[in-house]
Structures are given as structure tokens and as C-alpha cells.
Amino acid sequence: MFIVHALSMAFAMFWEILWALILGFALSGIVQAVVSKKEMTRLLPDDSPRTLAIACGLGAASSSCSYAAVALARSIFRKGANFTAAMVFQLASTNLVAELGIVMIVLLGRQFALAEFIGAPVMVIILTLLFRRFLTNRMVDTAREQADKGIAGSMEGHAEMDMSVSGGSMWFRITSAKGFTAISHYFLADWAAVWRDVAGGLLIAGALAAWVPQELWRSFFLVQHPTFALFWGPLVGPLVAVISFVCSVGNVPLAAVLWNSGISFGGVIAFIFADLIVVPIIDIYRRYYTRRIAWFLTWTMFVAMSAAGLAVELLFKALGWLPTDRHATITEAQIAWNYTSVLNIVFLAVAAALVWRASTTGGFKMLRMMNRAPSARPGRHPRHAH
């Protein structure tokens, strides 16, 4: 009975966000189809404010898959990009993408989506300051030496694929046959990259909502002590994310459960930020950059995420923008003829068209190779590849 209840709640959240996921990944595919990954390295030579702003923009135009973002960040770092700029690109790839904001609006509300997009640049600023204070040239050299070994991680092929269309106007590139094919391939690749995280997040959220008593959550989040909860939430939020093993958009359903259960507003934002310090990704940092750099990235990101979550809550509190109720979308499974069902039908048709296009242009063959690391070219040092 408890299992059925948990699955029912997971399905209910999936039905609510299905159209939003399709819309978000379609928009992501469109952007990736017109933004060349080959230009990223050239645009990220240092850690100046202008370069970091470009890194945020490029990250927002990239895939929301945490594993693909980490792999792509290493790829552009190996080709000569600045280490700080590569890490900022990585953060933006999972925290400033359209699909994340759309799903947050559906499940949590507009205040949370706004806080995410305000807090992400704050997190970038804090992380940059920490890097400038504690990151040494020797550490960067060590990271580059390890990165140049090309040790395989996850979603390597997804990180390397570049089907961007050049030439002509933006509208021409999007509507051309080549553009439609590129969009369909990116759409398929992004879904393949994140479906486990989305499914895992929904199942964990459904289980926690159905099985964990509200009183236990409220006690853990210090709900009876608002002043302590203000600071406790942004500290414990990332820790919950670390052990949840769920990344990217899959974090949002679990964030809805935590919000309904009493965690602070800043704690929710810090929890969603923390998709890049879950245990599997920390292990990838270790393989990509050495154990020491993995530890450095983990603690600096944790501090930046927690501080940004707290800063956003203080800002929203001062402006009177904090949400007053705790009724994020977590309902029993039911399909009714309403705007959600209409949108799901419309966007399922869009998804079907994109999957059909991808299937007739080699998209599924591409998927089979997507998780393989590209073979190194003989005689070519990746560090100087532009």
C-alpha cells in the first residue's frame, strides 16, 4: 500500500511537469543548435568579469545534464579555457537553463524560479572570489595535467557532440532541414542524459512525501526556531542533495517535498544549486582533476551554494517576496481534462515529431555512442586544440 502511494505521488508530479520538460528540452535543443561549442574555448581565456558573464551565457545555452556539463567543462579546459571560467560554465549549465526554471515554476512557484536565476550569479561571484583567494597556479597545472590524461567519466560523447548550424539568420538556422535535425538530436540526447535523474528524483520525492512524517522533517529543519532555521536550511540543503544522488532537473520534485516539509526558502535554493556536488560527480572530479582538486571544488562549491541560498532568502525577505504558503505541487495521481492535460498532449506531439526526425537521421545510433569517450587523435595535444 505504501509503495502504491509513493508511486502514485511520483506519477502525479511527472504528469504535472511533463509538458514543461518537453518545452524546456526543445528550447535547449534550439539554443544548442545555433551555439557552437568550438567557440566556447576561444571565449573563455581568463577569469575577468566579462569572460565569466560569457561563461554564464554559454552555460545557460547548454544542456542541463549535470554529467554532460562536467564533461564539457573538462573538455573546454583541456583545450585552453581558463579553469575558473570552465567551472562557472559548468555551474550555469545546470542552474541557468530554461527547463529548470520552467519546472520550478510548475512545481514550486515563480518566486523560486526567480530566486534561482538571481541566486546563480551570486553563487558565481562567491565561487570566483574563493578561487581567487585559494586556487593556486600549481593547483591549476595539476588539474590540467590530470585532465589531459583523458580518463573517461560519464556522458563524454554528449559533451563532445557539436551539430550547431552556422550561416544565415538565426531563424534560417532554426527552420532549415539541418537545423531541425540538429535540434532533434540535441533533444534526444538531453532526454537520454537526464531521464534517470528525473525518474530518480520523482521516485525519491514520492517515497519521502508518502513515508516520512511531516513532524520528523519539521524537527530536522528546526521549524520551531525560525532564526536558526534561516541559517540551518542553506547549510543542510546541499548536504541532503549530496546524499540524494539526484542531479539537474530531477532535484526539483524532491525540493518541492522539502519545501512542504518545512525547510527554509534559502535551503530549497541551496539544495537545487547543489546538483554538482552529489557523490557520483565528486568521484568524477577526482578522476578528472585529482583527489585534491575534487576536495577543493567540493568545499568551495558548498560554501558558494550555501551562501548564495542565504543571500537570496535575506534579499527576498527584505523585499517582501518570500512565499507565505507551503503547498508545492505534490498530489495524488489523477488525469483530468484541464490545461495540464491539453499542454501535455500538445507537447507530446512536439516530442513525437522531434523523436521521429532524430530516428530517421541517425539519432539513435548517435545515442549508442554518446556515453563513450572520444578517441584521442595521434600527435595532437588536447591542451592546444582550438
Spatial separation of the C-alpha atoms in residues 100 and 21, rounded to whole Å: 8
Confidence tier at 160 by pLDDT (50, 70, 90):
low
When pLDDT is averaged across residues 146-165 and rounded to a whole number, the result is 68
Residue 270 vs residues 120, 233, 281, 382: alpha-carbon distances, Å: 10, 8, 17, 35
∠ CA 71-73-77, rounded to 5°: 120
Three cell numbers at 337? 481534462
**What is the helix, strand, coil percentage profile of the chain, to 5?**
75, 0, 25
**Is residue 161 a contact partner of residue 189, using CB atoms and an 8 Å limit?**
yes
* Cα gap 13→369, rounded to integer Å: 31
Task: Measure the CA–CA gap between 309 and 122, rounded to whole angstroms.
Answer: 9
223-250 confidence digits (pLDDT tens): 889 999 999 999 999 998 887 766 677 7
C-alpha cell read off for 208: 519521502
User: Among 286, 309, 310, 308, which residue's Cα sits nearest to residue 297?
Assistant: 286
Residue 162 confidence (pLDDT): 65
**Contact, 92 vs 129, CB < 8 A?**
no
- Whole-model pTM: value is 0.76
Give the Cα separation of 310 and 312 in Å (integer): 5
Mean pLDDT of 289-302: 96
Q: Give the residue, 152 or 42, on which the prediction is more confident.
A: 42
What is the predicted pLDDT for the residue at 382? 38
pLDDT one-digit tens code per residue, 310-367: 999 999 999 999 998 877 655 554 566 777 788 889 999 999 999 999 999 988 887 7
Give dist(CA 182, CA 363) in Å, integer.
9
Please tell me the predicted confidence (pLDDT) of residue 267.
96
Q: What is the CA radius of gyration of the chain?
A: 21
Q: Residue 251: which pLDDT band, with cuts at 50, 70 and 90?
A: confident
**Grid-cell match 505521488, residue found:** 9
Closest to 73 in 3D by CA, of 59, 54, 57, 53 = 59
Q: Give me the numbers of helices (H) and strands (E) for the chain, helices first please.
A: 19, 0
Euclidean distance between CA atoms 267 and 255, whole angstroms = 9
Q: Give pairs for 217-225: CB < 8 Å, separation 24+.
A: 217/258, 217/261, 217/262, 217/263, 218/261, 218/262, 221/258, 221/261, 221/262, 221/263, 221/264, 221/267, 223/262
Segment 110-134 shows an average pLDDT of 96
